[in-house]
Chains A and B, each alone.
Chain A
Amino acid sequence: MALTIISLVKQVPLPSEMRMGEDGLMDRTKAKSIINIDCQFGLEAGLQLLKQHPDARLIVCSMGPGSFEAALRSAVAMGYDEAYLLSDRKLGGSDTYATGLAIATMLKHLGFTKDSKEPFIILAGRQTSDGDTAHVPSQVAEKIGIPQATFVESVKSDGTNNVVAKRIIEGGYQLMNLPMPCVISLTPTGIPPRKQSLSGAIKARNLQITTFGIDDIGLGTEKIGISGSPTIVAKVVNMVSERPPITLAEGHNEVALVDSLIANLAKGGNVLEKKEAVEKKEVDRPDFPNKDF
């Protein structure tokens, strides 16, 4: 039976243009958008699996505002076939728990359940650059009730209904054999995402994206949105680095670079000053006297 490869993607602001809103939530209105980098690696992993399963059906899913259609079209331009978007105002403010639930509900609605007769595999990015939690892939797996492997660099089909996932662990790799259906989250260290093809871009331009609201997939309002999200943002802290600013040595070749480094060192300045200030502060603190042991 033909395999279905499902990629989950999120559209994020270009990391260099990201801003945090007053309320501690991300302000996504102003920045240029891209597909989250890790999700792009997930998309590529799906296209690699296609080499082993040439008749596989490739679908891409996302949850978010209508503007996320751009990300779905980009995925189709890379080589995906179908696109689904879960978009509903009531989902606004959902945390990772609520998001995992909502996406899992959409996938189940599309027929991808743990008892599904046809094999499928869900690929996702390890984490997103605007949330960085890495929760959602795991939440989706839990809610559908299928196995998962996270932090995976590459995934291959083993010819049966299993896949072999190469998972990054401290100091090395772990090879995991998982039965399908399963969820795999991909690190941005595997095969880099391919570029779009013109034929793909033409397909994407004419593509009809299926958009669901929560009513369409039978998802109630209790467990979604701000009120349905157990996460509480207790406090937002603006981290100010204590480290003195770095002065970069500049130069187009080795000689210029070393000259610049020497000139910077000769100029000296902020490095020592800052260090003194920190040390001084410690001396001033009465309950942490600098002891001589």
Chain B
Amino acid sequence: MNNVDTVSTDVLIIGGGPSGLATAIHLADTFAKNGTAHRIMLIDKGSSIGSHILSGAVIKPEVFKELLPDVEFSEIPFNAKVVKDRTILLSEKSAITLPFHIPYMSNAGCYTASLGQICRYLAVKAQEKGVEIYPGFAVDEILYKDGKVIGAKTKDTGLDHHGNQLENFQAGTRIEARITVFAEGTRGSLTKMLIQKFDLAKGKNEQIYSLGCKELWSVPEGNIKPGEVYHTMGYPLDSDEFGGGFIYGLNDNRVALGIVVGLDYKDPSFDVHDAMQIWKTSKFVSRILKGGKLVEYGAKTLPEGGYYAVPKLFVDNALIVGDSAGLIAMPSLKGTHLAIKSGILAAKTVARALSRDDTSEESLKFYETLMQNSTIDAELFAVRNFRQAFTKGLIIGSLHFATQLITGGAGFFGRLKTHPDYLSTFTTKALKKKPFKERFKGKLDFDKVLTFDKSTDVYHSGVFHDEQQVVHIKFNDSSTYKTVNIDQYGAPEQFYCSSEVYELHTNKAGEKEIRVHAENCMHCKTCDIKAPGQAITWVIPNGGNGPDFQNM
């Protein structure tokens, strides 16, 4: 009984975001052109393609022409062309439009879009080209043979909270693949294991992340035009908190907005979701939302370490693409075009390797060569020290950035270093400034019209998790958890978690403990990144679980 089924494929792609789908499409096209028949399988943990995709998004469109040369551009479900592009210095009551663009931040020629919609479109194209797409399956194990990747396995389901098999146990499926492409997006769970196992980040900067909380609104006609794009700096963030707001006008009187905050902030009680609510009460933002209605909520992290934090992206039989590879260009916050470009380059590498029947590391090194000669490398290199400069705060950061502009990206030093985000958090005692709740006293009563508490927002994400499964939040050392995370840091997870998964509770004996409401989880991965001492590991829950984003 309970025999594990095995299937085999030539190429396995884990993740159906822009990077995975681009890999699949370009591979299918290349195989068709070469007249070779190879099996391509793509798996995503969302219940459907797009349901776990969240982005801004203002997207650079050129790469789509490269990916889909035979398609009329107008067929791709972009939203509106950017017609107005402003950077705003925000305070509670005022908004000053900067008279210039911060270099590398211009959005001219870009389009607003729901990346989820674009991914659904790409999935249809991929399927037409013969790619097998299976949404609703969580891949949670890398398969190795003789120390080399030989595929991956989907998660066993039908387990109780302790991991015991229930009567409806269904074993996962082993997928043996000649080449496996990791396209898991930000903080990929398997990618993390792969990087550790092969020490792929050796000699690189530590990857650092931001968390973005986003809402989609429907607003009265005239509040904002399709294609109007605003980025805000300042309020409600302090100068030592990196980040800002975005407001993108969409068709049909919709607007996508949110804030993105670097997870290297110091205050253990800082709350990005709540900061976003406060940001919405500023005169500038509330004016745009006036009379409107919340449609959807979601959250996701994004890797910001840039050029120096990109790990080695190839090992025997495997490649890493997109956000999992850390390919996001700061300060413009754009990763979609790089995700697609990396997918195209990975596809070229895979096709070449299969045609030579050589999937070794040596053969897949071709990916790195292609990357070095591509626009990805050029784009990331130009801003290679941008984000690191700001880990010292806005003023020093700006100074740094200014010198970088003059020196072509180098700044004062050739390469600025980073620390992992969790190390930046101060204990409650050591924090010199007012904690979040005091800082914004009187502003944290949410009115459910303009501002929402987390649980109301979470309700607007369509999130769902099977009751019967092992809780997908793993506390790595429960003995130190109380003394360190709760006592010294004041249980920061109740604040940094975008979706109210963690609740600090005092039990009958008067002891503080954390209760986990895993069913709320948005799969943003913040806890995996920000928990002091790396105390929490985010484990992939059952396939098909998680948010059900429609237009994020």
Contacts and interface: CB of A to CB of B under 8 A. Distances in A.
B373 interface: no
A133 B146 CA distance: 59
B132 A194 contact: no
A195 B157 contact: yes
Contacts of A79: 170
A90 interface: no
A14 B136 CA distance: 18
Interface in A188-214: 191-199, 201-202, 205
B158 A201 contact: no
A44 interface: yes
B167 A191 contact: yes
A236 B168 CA distance: 40
A157 to B, nearest CB: 15
B367 interface: no
Interface in B508-537: none
Contact of B134 (A47, A192, A198, A252): A198
Nearest to B500: A252
Contacts of A48: 167
Given A44-B168, A196-B136, A199-B5, A253 B544 contact: no
B542 A198 contact: no
A197 B503 contact: no
Contacts of A51: 1
A79 B43 CA distance: 19
Interface residues of A, number: 20
B173 interface: yes
Interface string A46-75: 011001000000000000000000000000
B172 A197 contact: yes
Contacts of A47: 168
A79 B169 CA distance: 12
Given A194-B168, A197-B171, A197-B173, A202 B132 contact: yes
B170 A197 contact: yes
- Binding site secondary structure of chain B: strand
Contacts of B455: 252
Contacts of B505: 253
A191 B173 CA distance: 22
Given A48-B167, A252-B455, A205 B543 contact: no
A198 B172 contact: yes
Most-contacted residue by chain B among A195, A196, A205 (CB, 10 A): A195
B543 A195 contact: yes
A192 B7 contact: no
A44 B543 CA distance: 19
Nearest to A195: B157
B137 interface: yes
Contacts of A191: 166-168
Interface string A142-177: 000000000000000000000000000000000000
B168 A193 contact: yes
A128 to B, nearest CB: 22
B43 A198 contact: yes
B175 interface: yes
Contacts of B175: 198
B125 to A, nearest CB: 18
A195 B134 contact: no
B154 interface: yes
Contacts of B500: 252
B468 interface: yes
Contacts of B43: 198
Given A191-B167, A198-B173, A198-B175, 20 more contacts: A51-B1, A78-B170, A192-B468, A193-B168, A194-B157, A194-B169, A195-B168, A195-B543, A196-B137, A196-B170, A197-B170, A198-B5, A198-B137, A198-B154, A199-B7, A201-B134, A201-B136, A202-B134, A205-B132, A205-B134
Interface of A: 44, 47-48, 51, 78-79, 191-199, 201-202, 205, 252-253
9 contacts: A194-B168, A194-B169, A196-B137, A198-B7, A198-B172, A199-B5, A199-B7, A202-B132, A252-B455
Interface of B: 1, 5-7, 43, 132, 134, 136-137, 154, 157-158, 166-173, 175, 455, 466, 468, 500, 503, 505, 542-544
9 smallest CB-CB distances across A and B, nearest first, come from A199-B5, A198-B173, A194-B168, A195-B157, A199-B173, A194-B170, A198-B154, A191-B167, A198-B137
